[in-house]
Amino acid sequence: MKTIFNANHAAHRAEYEFFRGEKVPAFEKPERADWVHAAVQRAGLGAILPPQAHDDAAILAVHSEPYVRFLRGAHAEFVAAGGDGAVFPSVWPIRGMRSDVEPTNFAARMGLYSFDSGSPLTAGTWQATRSGADCALTAVDLLRAGERSAFVLTRPPGHHAGRDFFGGYCFLNHAAIAAQALRDAGCARVAILDVDYHHGNGTQDIFYDRADVLFVSIHGDPRSEYPFFLGHADETGRGAGSGCNLNLPLPAGTTASAWFAALDQALARISGFKSDALVVSLGVDTFEGDPISHFKLKTADYPRMGERIAALGLPTLWAMEGGYAVAEIGDNVVGVLGGFAARS
């Protein structure tokens, strides 16, 4: 399995974030990708490649042009107005307010294009996430050339980013960009499996009305777990996409046996969808030692996850998402990928 590594990931480096209203050291930090990179090298999973440059067309097939334009220039605009360091959203157009008119005020636009205060936008955010999109598109190129799998090793992650908003540490949705690129390359149907602890609300937002992309997510119950306002079991798609969205929320404290039962349900749904390719949003914050998540998977459980996903027999693109227990993140990721490779 080839890995496409985003060497620009560390351009996005925040000292702190706001976590449940409290200012704390940033959980989403460069060491996450560096430890995974080192573990992939040690495991000898395959070649580690740089991304190839792609134009913005594939990004704009998923994200709105005004949002991408804002994200590209946001930090420079902040600095030009006298700002310094990371910038955080502070005001949002909630229920009853209008969101169809783009304000001229920078703070208002930060709120228009975001949904939480926990995602610092830094001088290098655009460079890092844009390079991540190139990694995802390079992985698509590999699958199109006949590879059976590829791993997109990038940060910041992507699955919370919707068509026109960022949040949850995510700015461009790399898994969604890859899925759409696979569709545009000729795949009639694509399935996305999100195994991150947190619901991929951005991915659901992007594909909720569509019948050609199935989204399946196993995650913490949104009644108590971030992102809170999406990810319930009764969200099954809308219009043409009715039946093409499957959420499998689980309570905090879920053990490996219950989690794998949900995985079996997810894989059965994917198998029935008859997709041509699979994109996996690979978060390993399901680990029992993760500092911001509450499932009970152990390092020894992750190879089994990869093995079961491999049994689908689909060309598979893996996109790195969450996982904040930095010391264990590399072993957990390599466990999944190694299990997949062994079964494949």
What positions carry a catalytic annotation?
160
Is residue 318 within 8 A of residue 337, CB to CB? The reply is: yes
- The answer for residues whose C-beta is within 8 angstroms of residue 11's C-beta and 6 or more apart is 122, 123, 124, 125, 127, 128, 131
Q: Which helix (H) or strand (E) holds 191?
A: strand 190-194
Please name the helix (run of DSSP H) or strand (run of DSSP E) that holds residue 280, with its range, or none.
strand 277-282
| SS3 state of residue 277 | strand
Angle at CA 244, nearest 5°, toward 238 and 247?
95
Residue position matching structure tokens 């229920």: 95
Cα–chain center distance at 213: 16
Cβ atoms of residues 128 and 11 within 8 Å: yes
Q: From CA 318, how far away is CA 201, in angstroms rounded?
A: 18
Residue type, 338: G
The CB density around residue 55, as the number of other CB atoms within 10 Å, is: 9
What number of residues does the chain have?
Answer: 344
Cβ atoms of 310 and 339 closer than 8 Å: yes
* Spatial separation of the C-alpha atoms in residues 286 and 255, rounded to whole Å: 10
Cβ proximity of 329 and 29 under 8 Å: no
